[in-house]
Amino acid sequence: MAQQANIGELLSMLDSPLLSVRDDVTTVFKENLNSDRGPMLVNTLVDYYLETNSQPVLHILTTLQEPHDKHLLDKMNEYVGKAASRLSALLLLGHVVRLQPSWKHKLSQAPLLPSLLKCLKMDTDVIVLTTGVLVLITMLPMIPQSGKQHLHDFFDIFGRLSSWCLKKPGHVTEVYLVHLHASVYALFHRLYGMYPCNFVSFLRSHYSMKENLETFEEVVKPMMEHVRIHPELVTGSKDHELDPRRWKRLETHDVVIECAKISLDPTEASYEDGYSVSHQISARFPHRSADVSASSYVDTQNSYGNATSTPYSTSRLTLNTPGQLPQTLSSPSTRLLAEPPQVRCELVCLLSSLLAGEAGLRGQV
């Protein structure tokens, strides 16, 4: 009990306005984590972060090393399994994976991955779904071998969520669907970039069914028009792209760059080919122009390079053209006002970091 009281006191000191105090307490926690290999301290830190959103605690959690990686993944998995804490846990997972921890390869075997996939296949909360998709997109280049076990789950998730972009469930605010559509578009690029033979086979099978034809025409086909023919469709095979040996020679950034190579430049596409994502979304949300300030964007000059592996990267966003999908974080005054402030910030930051990071890599291609 005394130890728990001591931990509680230290946790409160982590949020001290004095930098020296925060640094000292952070050092104490890290020293304890180095000496104590049990799960209790990590569990306490996760509980405290999800309750308070403490940034110093987030820093500690995102820099954990083995063996505490297992404790962190297990605790997040516990929270993902509960509807009330699922979104917060997924946001925490997003922060962790964005930093590509040294133990990232363990994600493919952690129970948290099946829990994430189950959430994306069954949950009906669009903010949870959008966040989960962004986390999955970030994770896939870190664990490309997971396709051998979970490929059909990835494809089922894409099929399910792409239909949401068309059917617009009545209980979902349209502004959330814009975020979801951006995430599904990014998932398309990731799956096509990593598993082209299998993904094209899925698309052919899934969208040949009569009930899915409209989704293909309105949602999926525009995505396909802005990727190059993947070389693996000619020289590869479904078995080859799932062979673990294919991925052993590639680091995470290599996988991201390979995905970027098959993506067409969104700036060239919008100006030379007359294509704009805003046109696609405006066609499905024509009345959104009546409320431009709440849900629409226009992209400005991209400071990260020529293009990315998705059609959504720019350095920032401003509110102007109806229907433009969210790409990177805008100034606080231009964020979507309909979302809860904390969720809004974390969700857009997650999307921003994912896409801005890939833009930087794209500039190296």
Burial 285-323 (b: 16+ CB within 10 A, else e): beebeeeeeebbbbbeebebbebbbbbbbbbbbebebbb
The pLDDT of residue 151 is 95
Stronger pLDDT, 45 or 4, i.e. the higher one:
45
* Confidence check: pLDDT of 329 > 70: no
pLDDT, one tens digit per residue, over 42-94 is 999 999 999 999 999 999 999 999 899 999 999 999 999 999 999 999 999 99
* Sign, CA torsion 232/235/239/244: negative
* DSSP calls for 182-216: HHHHHHHHHHHHH-HHHHHHHHHHHTTSGGGHHHI
Distance CA 113, CA 134 (A): 13
> Are 329 and 349 within 8 A, CB to CB?
yes
Q: pTM of the full predicted structure? A: 0.75
The pLDDT of residue 154 is 97
The pLDDT of residue 11 is 84
Domain boundaries, the chain: 1-106, 124-269
Segment 195-212 shows an average pLDDT of 95
Stronger pLDDT, 21 or 315, i.e. the higher one:
21
pLDDT band at 224 (very low <50, low <70, confident <90, very high): very high
pLDDT band at 362 (very low <50, low <70, confident <90, very high): very low
* Confidence check: pLDDT of 18 > 50: yes
Partners of 359 in the β-ladder: none
Instruction: State which of 17-21, 58-62, 270-274 shows the largest mean pLDDT.
Output: 58-62
Segment 245-262 shows an average pLDDT of 90
pLDDT band at 251 (very low <50, low <70, confident <90, very high): very high
Q: CA torsion, points 325, 90, 168, 288, in degrees to nearest 10? A: -30
Segment 210-225 shows an average pLDDT of 92
Q: Cis link prior to 67 (omega < 30° from 0)?
A: yes
* Confidence check: pLDDT of 277 > 80: no
Q: Say how many C-beta atoms besides its own lie within 10 A of residue 115's C-beta.
A: 20
The pLDDT of residue 337 is 34
- Which percentage of the chain shows pLDDT scores above 70? 70
The pLDDT of residue 230 is 94
pLDDT band at 350 (very low <50, low <70, confident <90, very high): low
Stronger pLDDT, 310 or 253, i.e. the higher one:
253
